[in-house]
Amino acid sequence: MAPSLDIKLEHKLSNEEIIALDKQHVWHPYSSFNSPLTPFPVASAKGVRLTLEDGREVIDGMASWWSMLHGYNHPKLNEAAKSQIDDMSHVMFGGLTHAPAVKLCKTLVDITPVGLNKVFISDSGSVAVEVAIKMAFQYWISQGMSEKNKLITVKNGYHGDTFATMAVSDPVTGMHHMFESVLAKHFFVPAPQTKFNETFDEEDVSELRATLKAHHQNIAAMILEPIVQGTGGMRFYSPVYLKRVRELCDEFNVLLILDEIATGFGRTGKLFACEHAEIVPDILCLGKALTAGYLSMAATLTSDKVATGICEGEAGVFMHGPTFMANPLACSVANASLKLLLEGDWKQQVSNLEAKLLKGLLPAKELPQVEAVRVLGAIGVIELKQPIDMVRIQPRFVEEGIWVRPFGKLVYVLPPYIMNDEDVATLTAAMIRVVASI
């Protein structure tokens, strides 16, 4: 065991001290203390660049896991946070309200598909999905149909790391399969195979229809990621599949939950991915980019039907209440971010990123180790034939001057919308060089 470093709170840590203390005490997502990866300490960030403690700069191709739409250290977002903190950084939301939250909810109602007019604000994407699931179950309990206590979803999905969300992520190929014995059991059907721009194959919904027909009396809701299956493989599927899902949910009296934590706010070329199919879910989950990466916040939207149905039941209220719900700081930054997005030219930004990512990544298809290249909106993916050795590959990206965080067989990027053509070209060329070296 490494010796403990005697560090006072006011002491400015060196790069080496940060790494040493991190390895001793800090548990990163999906990491091991038995064989820890050496982290890269970040000193500051601005625009699309991270400045590391050792002085190197890297172009961030991940937008901090889909969230930093406008880049780092944006003056408008900084000002929103600074202005709000002088009034109040936080206040409980039970029995109280405030302007930043009310404005945010009104804006979300205005920009999401028509009919979603009730907003529950929470702390993170996983919690937003938990809230959605809870809404669906309480709705049917309130309707006197408590037997509708299962969910249905597709394989290759991912909805979060909490227990209810793990239970609707892929139980076999997903990262949570080891918990299968302790998770609630739900219905899984094959993921859609028709790709985004292909002619739809109706066989994609045959097993879904059969399962709903046989078990709809016990199914509260269907949940899935619209258009893009993220952590389950960065797969892009046909919008017609979503149309059929909406039709089948209506036919068999099942609610539809769409998880747009990753795809919301323009990432796929539409403000919300469900717009590709022109459908409206009963419950919609948003997160990640909601505050443009500044603070953790998410939202779950639903309709009058669901809200009224829940509130006319035994409890008379929706049974959920996070401590940091509708944090004023986060709400203020979210309002500023949405103003930037809606008043800016996000459609053109995303369209340009799509074209430049496609141009930059297509040459990777010629590499023998590459299975496929996929681009949709501001999402670019190189799928390899074999899993990546993170210990060896992660430092290579940093050496190339880019920040990319692969997983499994996937090397993918989701740039901030403000990334210019030169930086996209640098990013994609470096990705190909690293992949070619594998």
Active site residues: 30, 158, 259, 288
Q: What is the DSSP letter of 54?
A: T
Cβ–Cβ < 8 Å for 287, 297: yes
CA distances from 360 to 116, 310, 364, 424 (A): 38, 49, 9, 8
Q: Retrieve residue 14's tokens.
A: 């060196």
* DSSP codes, 330-342: HHHHHHHHHHHHH
43, containing H or E segment: strand 42-46
Q: Retrieve residue 148's tokens.
A: 């509708």
Strands 118-122 and 187-189: unpaired
Cβ–Cβ < 8 Å for 169, 176: yes
**Residue 97 dihedral angles phi and psi, to the nearest 5°:** -145, 175
Report the chain's C-alpha Rg in angstroms.
22
End-to-end C-alpha distance for the chain, whole angstroms: 33
- CB count within 10 Å of CB 251 equals 12
CA distances from 214 to 209, 217, 263 (A): 9, 8, 31
Tokens 């299975």: give the residue: 371
Can you tell me the distance from the alpha carbon of 429 to that of 424, in angstroms, rounded to the nearest whole number? 8
In DSSP terms, which residues pair with 224 in a beta bridge? 258
In DSSP terms, which residues pair with 382 in a beta bridge? 373, 411
The dihedral built from the CA positions of residue 298, 302, 308 and 312, taken in this order, carries a sign that is negative
Can you tell me the distance from the alpha carbon of 238 to that of 417, in angstroms, rounded to the nearest whole number? 24
Can you tell me the distance from the alpha carbon of 194 to that of 178, in angstroms, rounded to the nearest whole number? 29
**Residue 231 dihedral angles phi and psi, to the nearest 5°:** -60, -20
- Going by C-beta distance under 8 Å and a sequence separation of 6 or more, which residues neighbour residue 328? 84, 87, 88, 89, 90, 91, 98, 100, 101
Listed residue (415, 340, 424) closest to 378, CA to CA: 415
